[in-house]
Amino acid sequence: MIEEFSTISRQSEALIKEKGSKFFAYAIPVNTVKDVEDQLDRMKKEHHSARHWCYAYRLGESGDRSRSNDDGEPTHSAGDPILRQIESKGLTQVLVVVVRYFGGVKLGVGGLIQAYGGAAQEALDQAHVVIKVISERIRLTFGYEDMSMVMRMVKRYKGEIIHTDHRESCLLDIDIERASLTDFLTAMKELHRVNTKVIAK
């Protein structure tokens, strides 16, 4: 099970010129397909007079969801080279858009592959790469008499408290790093009066 992944923290940009054409590249952090669609809409508004808006993205903790789009350029000449740059850097949760303003000279498939891949590489080289530690959300329910012991365990395993409710019994939603999850759940089982459940975030 994956415990962490590499992504970027903020948008980065690059520009390359090739035989009169300009290639504006943007590397953008994203979490969902909806984020991708929103960013593409933004790019098309910002560069409304461009000829092509080619892109690729990887999503998911393991980067298992990916897509590339040539947007009218010859097949596999734009989106695939962009995607290869994302993959070569081991990144996920990333969208790279390369916007082309045509300069009047055709570059050929080889030239396009080099230009789109090169622009994507430069944008990613400018990016601030971060490691995201993956956590799971746990719901604990217990009596007031076990509060101090539960809180000691949460602190020991560096749990982050997300939500608390003390109306009838105690309810605690916490995030635990996936690397510590098995040990934490094993420790909590020894506290027989504490109910432990993994829940969706």
Instruction: Mark whether 165 and 96 lie in a shared domain.
Output: no
Going by C-alpha positions, the residue among 88, 87, 41 that lies closest to residue 66 is 87
Task: Kindly report, residue by residue over 151-172, the tens digit of the pLDDT.
Answer: 999 999 999 999 999 888 899 9
Instruction: Mark whether 115 and 153 lie in a shared domain.
Output: no
The pTM assigned to this predicted structure is 0.84
For residue 81, what is the domain's CATH number? 3.30.230.30
Q: Is the dihedral of CA 185, 188, 190, 194 positive or negative?
A: negative
Instruction: Mark whether 112 and 15 lie in a shared domain.
Output: yes
Residue with structure tokens 């054409």?
21
Instruction: Mark whether 160 and 96 lie in a shared domain.
Output: no
Which pLDDT value is given to residue 85? 98
Q: Are 84 and 94 in contact (CB under 8 A)?
A: no
Instruction: Mark whether 34 and 85 lie in a shared domain.
Output: yes
Instruction: Mark whether 84 and 48 lie in a shared domain.
Output: yes
User: How many domains are contained in the chain?
Assistant: 2
Range of the domain at 183: 135-199
Task: Kindly report, residue by residue over 82-138, the tens digit of the pLDDT.
Answer: 999 999 999 999 999 999 999 888 999 999 999 999 999 999 999 999 999 999 999
Instruction: Mark whether 149 and 75 lie in a shared domain.
Output: no
